[in-house]
């Protein structure tokens, strides 16, 4: 039995001008890494600090397939997906990322 969960997620900046779609097996840790610019490159360059959408999967292959599907969509279609679950583009992680330190989140390697 596989009890692991996988997540596809959307991060954006405060201006909501840039979207990042990713996949991870630890959403809380990954969001922390984005918010604290621990992931160099695109995410840090565009200041992606708001989690605006995520989906949960039990199968890593399904999560990766969904990520690829979404990445092929137009920006308009991605925006519609976000608005359907998070009309005001609130930061879905706001209440659960601020209370964690780097130590707890660094216990598991990033994936």
**What's residue 63's pLDDT?**
98
* Of 33-37, 45-49, 67-71, 97-101, the least confident: 97-101
**What's residue 94's pLDDT?**
87
The structural domains of the chain, ordered by start, are 6-105 (3.40.1440.10)
pLDDT at 99 over 70: no
Task: Report how far apart, in Å, the C-alpha atoms of 43 and of each of 12, 82, 87 are.
Answer: 9, 19, 23
Give percent above pLDDT 70 in the chain.
85
Work out the pLDDT band at 98, boundaries 50, 70, 90: low
Q: What's the pTM? A: 0.84
């Amino acid at each position: 039995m596989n009890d692991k969960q996988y997540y596809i997620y959307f991060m954006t900046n405060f201006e909501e001008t840039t979207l990042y779609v990713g996949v991870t097996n630890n959403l809380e840790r990954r969001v922390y890494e984005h918010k604290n610019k621990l992931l160099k490159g695109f995410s840090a360059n565009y200041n992606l600090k708001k989690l605006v959408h995520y989906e949960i999967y039990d199968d890593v292959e399904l999560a990766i397939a969904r990520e690829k599907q979404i990445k092929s969509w137009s920006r308009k279609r991605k925006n519609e997906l976000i608005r359907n679950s998070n009309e005001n583009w609130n930061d879905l992680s706001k209440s659960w990322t601020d209370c964690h330190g780097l130590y707890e989140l660094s216990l598991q390697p990033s994936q």
